[in-house]
Amino acid sequence: MHPIIQKAFDPERYRREGHELVDMIADYLQDVVNAEQWPALSWRPPEQGFEYLNGMWRQNDGDLQRLFRETLSRSIHLHHPRYMGHQINPTAPASFLAGMLTDALNNGMGVYEMGMAGTAMERVIIKTTAQAMGLSDYADGFLTSGGTLANLTALLAARSAKAPEAVWEEGAGSRLALLVSEESHYCIDRAARIMGWGDAGVVKVPVDDQYAMRTDLLDDYYRQAREAGLTVIAVVGSACATSTGSFDNLTAIGDFCRRHDLWFHVDAAHGGALAYSGKYGHLLRGIAGADSVVMDFHKMLLAPAIATALIFGDGRRGFHTFHQRAQYLWADAEQQEWHNLAKRTFECTKQMMSLKIFAIMYAHGLELWDAYVTQMCDLGKTMAELIEQRPDFELAVAPQCNIVCFRYVPAGVEPESLNALNQTIRQQIIEKGDFYIVQTLLRGKAYLRVTLVNPFTSDRDLAALLDEVENLGMNLLKEY
């Protein structure tokens, strides 16, 4: 064997470097919760980051610890209490320890023997989650690579079940379409276009003043779509809408779907986690009637990205996604093997994501998810109260979960200037790096947006953010 290969696989080197890395991460976890000591991110322009790492590569000294330290300091810190940006959670140590083992094992998961333990755990996770959502014992599904891919997979299953022709074999005949709220995640629109449905294939139902789907308009929009020659096969409920965290009325959507024999899909990529919260689970009322549900474990259940469940109300339907109609008729129990995952997943080789989730459940029980999800949604309410106490701020909508949209609206500023003002404040916040927040546009108005995902975020951090927004805003107004 070439000595370089021997060196690459040296167990003693791994042991030494592994211990050093574990120590480095433990120190990091201890320090990063001190908001004043660490920035949430050290913003650098893209070119500068590239130059630096390219330079490091060129003067490569092979020192892994240096590489890891540089990576740490040049990354955004999700474990930082003032990280309040995109919808992705800080990871629980049990899950990233599990990640070290899954990466070492590298089980490919597509067929049973390529991931025996992982496949079994996956089923436990799916069954446990289905039960938490109130789905029946027939519910089943699998883990897949992200909410985006899971939604596409669910809609392919919907097409297989509800399209008038066998699209898988013969291609599309009818002009297919789905109904979804105008506030849905962009990946639903993208999925429909990937399936060749075009502009007309995504019928956007308006939202109410809480940014939830106007289910009272479903009949109208359905009728109009049919009159325009479309074959509507599904309605997608958002639980919740990405921008505002608003939950659609899933009971009303489910009833509508049953009346018209449509597939009822719930995009619960973010909010599905609330099924594990005793206090907030009621926001998912009606999800038990879904034909398919998508839920991320990396947004509010403390797992590393990406790890997403796709659950079918009737588990057998997951086997029809990538199959032609005729096969469905011949299908018997023998062919619908739950343990050969690639029959149902987009992926061939798939990450062994299950251990990272299972390790959290196993080490801490479902109580951890209950406590965490509940605390994060409570924090959303606290944030709203703090905003309402300040006359120069306004909420987009009373938050239902851990997503809060607000804007700085000082007296005497022209309404047309408020978008630019809030957008500039947001850019300055990123470049400063004390906080990380994002922005969104609602009905033409720019809002600052936070997703509260860090259990170490305190009321004090929230107040400090509002102070920072106000200070930056006042300075900008002086310059105007």
Q: Which residues bind ligand PLP (CB under 6 A)?
A: 87, 146-148, 185, 187, 238, 242, 267, 269-270, 296, 306, 308
Give every strand in the sheet of 140-144, ordered side by side: 140-144, 308-312, 292-296, 263-267, 230-238, 175-181, 202-205
| Residue number with CB closer to ligand PLP (277 or 408) | 277
CA angle 83, 300, 428 (to 5 degrees): 20
| Residue number with CB closer to ligand PLP (39 or 85) | 85
| Residue number with CB closer to ligand PLP (269 or 462) | 269
CA separation for the pair 45, 352 (Å, rounded):
34
| Residue number with CB closer to ligand PLP (135 or 269) | 269
Query: Least distance (Å) from ligand PLP to the CB of residue 150?
Result: 7
Query: Least distance (Å) from ligand PLP to the CB of residue 237?
Result: 10
State how far the alpha carbon of 415 is from the alpha carbons of 390, 408, 477, in Å. Answer: 18, 11, 14
Query: Do 215 and 256 form a contact (C-beta atoms < 8 A)?
Result: yes
Non-local (6+) Cβ contacts of 148 within 8 A are 187, 190, 191
- Is residue 16 helix, strand or coil? helix
Query: Least distance (Å) from ligand PLP to the CB of residue 140?
Result: 21
DSSP codes of every residue in 288-319: GG-SEEEEESTTTS-PPS--EEEEESSGGGGG
Query: Least distance (Å) from ligand PLP to the CB of residue 450?
Result: 15
Query: Least distance (Å) from ligand PLP to the CB of residue 247?
Result: 10
| Residue number with CB closer to ligand PLP (204 or 339) | 204
Query: Least distance (Å) from ligand PLP to the CB of residue 381?
Result: 20
CB-closest chain residue to ligand PLP: 147
Instruction: Please report where in the chains the tokens 């789907």 appear, as a residue.
Output: 213
Give the helix ranges, DSSP H, for 228-344: 250-260, 325-330
| Residue number with CB closer to ligand PLP (269 or 342) | 269
Query: Least distance (Å) from ligand PLP to the CB of residue 243?
Result: 9
- Is residue 166 helix, strand or coil? coil
Query: Least distance (Å) from ligand PLP to the CB of residue 244?
Result: 11
User: What amino acid occupies position 416?
Assistant: E
| Residue number with CB closer to ligand PLP (39 or 281) | 281
Query: Do 270 and 296 form a contact (C-beta atoms < 8 A)?
Result: yes
Non-local (6+) Cβ contacts of 460 within 8 A are none
Two structure tokens written together for 407: 């804007």
Angle, to 10 degrees, between the axis of helix 64-73 and the axis of helix 46-58? 180
| Residue number with CB closer to ligand PLP (397 or 466) | 397
